[in-house]
Amino acid sequence: MNKQQNILVIGAGLCGSLLALRLGQRGYHVTVYEKRPDLRKVEISAGRSINLAFSDRGIKAMKLVGLEDKVQSLCIPMNGRMIHDQEGNSFLSNYSGRDYEYINSISRGELNALLLDEAEKHDHVTIHFNKKCQSVDFENTTALFFDYETKSDFVEDADIIIATDGAGSILRKSYFLGKKFLFSFSQDYLTHGYKELSILPTENGDYKTYKNALHIWPRGSFMLIALPNLDGSFTVTLFLSFDEGNYNFNNLTTPELVTEFFKKEFPDALQIMPNLIEDFFKNPTSPLGTVKCSPWHFKGNTLLMGDAAHAIVPFYGQGMNASFEDVVEFDAVLDKHKNPTSKSDWETIFKAYEHTRKKDTDAIADLAIDNFHEMKEHVNHDLFREKRNLEMALEKNFPNEYSSKYSLVTFNENIGYREAMLKGRAQDKAILNMLVEGDIDMHSDLRHVLDKVKIETEAILEDDRIAGLK
C-alpha cells in the first residue's frame, strides 16, 4: 500500500484539525496551514462564536477518531429550550421526549485545541500557524501562502489539497474567480445580523440562570439566546435586523437606546447582564449568511470541505456537526474505494463524496433557515406549542416509533439530513393540519394519534412524489 500521498489541508479550524487527525490515523502525510496564531497559545478573538451546540452527528465523528471520552469533559448538556417571555416568565421545552436525547454546549477553542493536540501526535501530521492562504492554483495543485512571521510569500504543492478554510474560503474564491469551469455558487444573507454578549458568573462562580438549557428570548422579529460555558458564564447572542423594526443594529447607537431596548424586550436578561453596554459596543455586529456551491472538487486535485463548501446559519446548532459529519462521510468514501495513488483515483473519490454528501448539506442549510423563524417566532405560537407537546408525548410513549423533525436532524446520526428534512417537514405539515382541523388533539388516544400521523405523513410524501412525476 502506498500511503505516501501528500495531503495539504488549508485551515486548522474544527473541520481542518479533525480532518488532519483522521487522515493522519489513516497513514497519510498531512501538512496543515492555518492563518491564525495557534489558539492554544493566544487568546481567542472576541466576537467569534465562543461556544457551539454539539450533538450526535458530531459525537459520531469523535467516536471515529477515538475521542468520545475526552470530549465528554468539555460538554455541558442542554436538555431543552428555556423560553423567556416579555414579562420575565420562563418555561422549559425539552428537545426530545426521550430523556437520553439532549444537545451540548461546548467551547469552540477547547475542542479545537483537543483536536490539534491529537492530530500532532502523528509524526506525519504537521501544523503550521500564521500562514495565510492567498490563492490556490487548482490546475497545478499548488497554493500560495503569506507567512505572517517572515512577511514573505511561499508556494506549497501536494498530491491533493483540501480546503477547510471556512465560509470565506480562498479555494472557493479561486474556483469562482478562475472561471475555468462552470461553478455554481450562492451567498445568501439574512436581513438580520448577530452580536455576542455575555452573562458573567456570580461572584462565587455559579451560573446566574439555569445551566442545562439553551435559553431563548423569542420576540417575533428578533431574539436573544444564551448557551452555558464551563466557567459559569453564558455566551449570549442577539439576533436582530440591521435596519428594520423600531430597534435595529443600525439605530442602536447609544447606551441609552440599548438599555431602553433591553429593558423593554429582555428585562430578566438585563438584570443579569450588568456588562451589557460594554459588551454591546466592544463586540462586532456580524452578518448571517448561507453559502452553497458546486462542484466542490476540481478533478482529482482539490476539494472543499466544511464551511468552505457549505456555510450555514447557526439556528439548528448543526454547523460544526455538519462539518464533522463531512469528515465521517469522506472517511466512509475512502473505505469504499481502493487506496488512491493517482489523480484519477482521487477524482473518483471526490466525485463520490460530493455525490453522497451535497444533498445533505443543502438540506441542513435550508433547515437552519427554517429554524431561524421557528426560534424567533414559532416557539411562542400556540399551534406550534401544541404540536411540540404532542410530539414530546409521542416520543415519550413510543420512543422507538416516533422522532420529531428536530430529533431526526439532531439525534439520528444514521439518517442523512435530506431524509430527515423531507420526513420531518411532512410530519410537521401532517400534525399542524390535523390539529387545525380538529382531527387530533392532546386528549386523543396517543396510539391513535401516532397511527394518524404516520398515515398522513406517508400520504403527504406520496402526493409530493406523484406531483414530481417520480
Q: Could you tell me the smallest distance in angstroms from the CB atom of residue 236 to a second copy? A: 23
In the bound state with a second copy, the residue whose beta carbon lies nearer, of 139 and 244, is 244
Q: Which of 429, 439, 444, 454 binds a second copy (CB under 8 A)?
A: 429
Sequence letter at residue 206: D
Taking alpha carbons only, the member of 299, 391, 280, 381 closest to residue 342 is 299
Contact range with a second copy by CB under 8 A, out of 203-211, 319-327, 389-397, 422-430: 422-430
In the bound state with a second copy, the residue whose beta carbon lies nearer, of 240 and 269, is 240
Q: Could you tell me the smallest distance in angstroms from the CB atom of residue 406 to a second copy? A: 16
- For position 297 contacting a second copy by CB under 8 A, the verdict is no
Contact range with a second copy by CB under 8 A, out of 3-11, 56-64, 317-325, 458-466: 458-466
- For position 188 contacting a second copy by CB under 8 A, the verdict is yes
Binding mask 227-246 for a second copy (x = CB under 8 A): ---------------x----
- For position 438 contacting a second copy by CB under 8 A, the verdict is no
β-strand pairing of 152-157 with 125-128 = unpaired
Which residue stretches of 251-318 are H helix? 255-265, 267-271, 276-282
- For position 45 contacting a second copy by CB under 8 A, the verdict is no
- For position 47 contacting a second copy by CB under 8 A, the verdict is no
The torsion of the CA quartet 159, 164, 167, 172, rounded to 10 degrees, works out to 10
DSSP 306-361: GGGT----GGGS-HHHHHHHHHHHHHHHHHHSPPP-SHHHHHHHHHHHHHHHHHHH
Q: Which of 185, 205, 275, 389 binds a second copy (CB under 8 A)?
A: 185
- For position 84 contacting a second copy by CB under 8 A, the verdict is no
Q: Could you tell me the smallest distance in angstroms from the CB atom of residue 190 to a second copy? A: 9
Q: Which of 87, 151, 206, 469 binds a second copy (CB under 8 A)?
A: 469
- For position 343 contacting a second copy by CB under 8 A, the verdict is no
Question: Cα dist. 14→148, 328, 411 in Å?
Answer: 22, 13, 20
Q: Which of 378, 388, 405, 423 binds a second copy (CB under 8 A)?
A: 378
Q: Could you tell me the smallest distance in angstroms from the CB atom of residue 378 to a second copy? A: 6
Which residue is it, cell 406549542? Answer: 385
Instruction: State the CB neighbour count (10 A cutoff) for residue 155.
Output: 12
Distance of CA 370 to the CA centre of its chain: 14
Sign of CA dihedral 383, 228, 318, 368: positive
In the bound state with a second copy, the residue whose beta carbon lies nearer, of 270 and 432, is 432
108 within 8 A of 49, measured Cβ to Cβ: yes
- For position 281 contacting a second copy by CB under 8 A, the verdict is no
In the bound state with a second copy, the residue whose beta carbon lies nearer, of 183 and 210, is 183
Grid cell listed for 308? 468552505
Give the angle subtended at the CA of 59 by the CAs of 57 and 64, to the nearest 5°. Answer: 100
How many residues touch a second copy under the rule CB under 8 A: the total is 28
- For position 179 contacting a second copy by CB under 8 A, the verdict is no
Q: Could you tell me the smallest distance in angstroms from the CB atom of residue 84 to a second copy? A: 21
- For position 184 contacting a second copy by CB under 8 A, the verdict is yes
β-strand pairing of 152-157 with 302-304 = unpaired
- For position 270 contacting a second copy by CB under 8 A, the verdict is no
Helix (H, G, I), strand (E, B) or coil at 83: strand
Q: What are phi and psi of 252, to 5 degrees?
A: -85, 75
Q: What are phi and psi of 286, to 5 degrees?
A: -120, 150
Distance of CA 273 to the CA centre of its chain: 26
Helix (H, G, I), strand (E, B) or coil at 436: helix
Contact range with a second copy by CB under 8 A, out of 183-191, 196-204, 410-418, 441-449: 183-191
- For position 183 contacting a second copy by CB under 8 A, the verdict is yes
Site for a second copy, rule CB under 8 A: 182-189, 242, 287, 289, 292, 377-378, 381, 383-384, 425, 428-429, 432-433, 436, 463-464, 466-467, 469
